[in-house]
Amino acid sequence: MTPLLLALLLAAADQMPEPIRPFLAAKAKDGTPVLSAEDRRKLEEMTDHTRQLVATAADNQILGSAAHLKILLSLDLPAQAMDLVLQDNCILCHSDPGNQKPRALFSPDPAKQGSNPLLDLRELVSDVHFRRGLSCAGCHGGTPQDESMSNDIAKRWPKSEARHQDRSWIPGFCARCHADPAFMRGFNPTLPTDQLAKYQGSRHGILLLQEKDSHAAQCVSCHGVHGIRGPKSRKSTVYSQRIPDTCGGCHANPAFMAGYKTDSGEPMPTMQVAEYKASVHGKALLEKGDLGAPACTGCHGSHAAMPPAVASVAQVCRRCHAQNGALFDGSKHKAAFEQHKWPECGQCHGKHAIEKPTDALIGTAPGTLCADCHAQHAKDNAACSATAEQFRRALDTLAAGRAEVAPREEEMAERGLDVEPLARAMSELDEALVQARSRVHSFELGTFDQAARPGREALEKARQSIAAARSDYRFRKGGLLAAIGFMGLLAAGIVLKLREIDRRRRE
């Protein structure tokens, strides 16, 4: 098998540019060719231009060996990206295992090579900057054509100890491009260029830039280093479903957050991410895949991340729950909450651990939100108690009615009965329930009843359609019985006739 493969490779070598041929003939220690048939196929399928770039790199000895070429082919890059790699001496030199020590070697498998996990060659060639033509030299200095480390690189890039001790240089470094609208327009005209300005005013920015706390998050803390992807990529650390874990990398780590305080001077909690994941928003985003549900940045912002103040937190909720917010603004509770300096929505629903609200929150029984709050702050208010009781009773009636009629739909469908009227009524009932539950935030019976009344009507329609369907089914069974009776009589007549014929014949 091996000699055959070797013969094939040697035959094919004739068609390859001269500098590539030694790679095709190269053998490993065990005598097998370094480049497999699959690698050869990849070489053959390259465009002439790309193959010529391979040959040039090989001729310049910056593509050092067959093993080095095999590594590059294993990346399975599209032609354009392969061309970028082959014209970038930094990548070529730092991906050659025969030319670099593990500490500076970019490899498709850094763990196996014992190099830094950040030096992942696959990640590097997937980086959004690399894909748009901005490679190592863009950040580190020098040019892709440099054949050795230049002074320019040494000047731009601080020594390891210095750049790790004080991270405050990073936002400004990234902002050289990202805060320059003219420059960014050439790559992505829709990308904002105000990230640095926002960051400077954020809690992270204040800590890093003003208080020189290099623990504080900066650009690479969230976006990564080599292998940065756009926020719409599922692999991006700032993809909405990955944001909780990205933020949680610091905020859910008690050791890391030790010493930090909230605005009110309390130790910074580290339960937010766990609470968020168990919340209605966390489940919607992470379990149901609803990308419209907010992650951490949905309420706190991203580059301008700050804890929302009491005055503004309700406005954050209103970005999605606009109707509930408007109803609350017109309610009696608005003034009361302002008087107590309560954060509106958060006062009843909580912050990170927001649960799916249920009708059990409403009412005058102990344990309900209304009763517990009024017991402390607005005791013996008969009108409020009556309103709360009415809300609860109406919602319970609609919900119980729905639970009563819903199973009938499947039962009717199985019997072949017309379920359309019931399905329509159920749809109206569901909409009425959603609206009624929302209008609870008006804390006013008239507004609430505008939604509850259609619900009661829809429930009545559903019950009528069930009754009509049952009556229809009874009619069907009755009709069948009558038909069987008629056909049974006919059958009996035939049997009698047959007997008569037999009797007559015997006689």
Q: By the criterion CB under 8 A, which residues form the site for another protein?
A: 413-416, 418, 420, 476-477, 479-480, 483-484, 487-488, 490-491, 494-495, 497-498, 501
- Per-residue DSSP letter, 241: G
Q: How far is the CB of 466 from another protein (least distance, A)?
A: 15
Q: Tell me whether residue 154 or residue 480 sits nearer to another protein (CB atom).
A: 480
- Per-residue DSSP letter, 116: -
Q: How far is the CB of 470 from another protein (least distance, A)?
A: 14
Q: Tell me whether residue 404 or residue 418 sits nearer to another protein (CB atom).
A: 418
Q: How far is the CB of 472 from another protein (least distance, A)?
A: 9
Q: How far is the CB of 408 from another protein (least distance, A)?
A: 16
* Single-letter residue type at 29: K
Which ranges constitute the DSSP H helices of 46-102? 48-59, 66-74, 79-86, 89-94
Q: Which residues contact 4 (CB under 8 A, 6 or more apart)?
A: none
Q: How far is the CB of 233 from another protein (least distance, A)?
A: 24
Q: Which residues contact 337 (CB under 8 A, 6 or more apart)?
A: 344, 347
Where does residue 251 rank: exposed (0-12), middle (13-18), buried (19+ CB within 10 A)? buried
Q: How far is the CB of 499 from another protein (least distance, A)?
A: 11
Q: What would the two tokens of residue 125 be?
A: 């060639």
What's the CA gap between 134 and 129, in Å, rounded? 5
The helix/strand/coil state of 33 is: strand
* Single-letter residue type at 223: H
Q: Tell me whether residue 378 or residue 495 sits nearer to another protein (CB atom).
A: 495
Q: How far is the CB of 418 from another protein (least distance, A)?
A: 4
Q: Are 354 and 280 in contact (CB under 8 A)?
A: yes
Counting every residue written for the chain, the total comes to: 507
Q: Tell me whether residue 319 or residue 474 sits nearer to another protein (CB atom).
A: 474
Plot region of 231 (φ>0 → left; ψ -120 to 50 → alpha; else → beta): alpha
Helices then strands, counting H and E runs in the chain, come out as: 31, 0
The helix/strand/coil state of 120 is: strand
Q: Tell me whether residue 65 or residue 465 sits nearer to another protein (CB atom).
A: 465
Q: Tell me whether residue 467 or residue 487 sits nearer to another protein (CB atom).
A: 487
Q: Are 441 and 327 in contact (CB under 8 A)?
A: yes
Q: Tell me whether residue 186 or residue 493 sits nearer to another protein (CB atom).
A: 493
Q: Tell me whether residue 30 or residue 420 sits nearer to another protein (CB atom).
A: 420
Which ranges constitute the DSSP H helices of 279-381? 280-282, 296-300, 310-318, 322-329, 333-340, 345-349, 369-377
- Helix pair 445-506, 382-414: axis angle to 10 deg: 20
Using alpha carbons, list the distances in angstroms from residue 101 to 38, 93, 299, 360, 454.
28, 11, 45, 65, 75
Q: How far is the CB of 463 from another protein (least distance, A)?
A: 19
* Single-letter residue type at 31: G
Q: How far is the CB of 507 from another protein (least distance, A)?
A: 15
CA geometry: angle at 11 spanning 10 and 12, to 5°? 90
Q: Are 57 and 68 in contact (CB under 8 A)?
A: no
Q: How far is the CB of 454 from another protein (least distance, A)?
A: 24
Q: Tell me whether residue 301 or residue 421 sits nearer to another protein (CB atom).
A: 421
Q: How far is the CB of 407 from another protein (least distance, A)?
A: 17
Q: Tell me whether residue 45 or residue 500 sits nearer to another protein (CB atom).
A: 500
Q: Tell me whether residue 258 or residue 487 sits nearer to another protein (CB atom).
A: 487
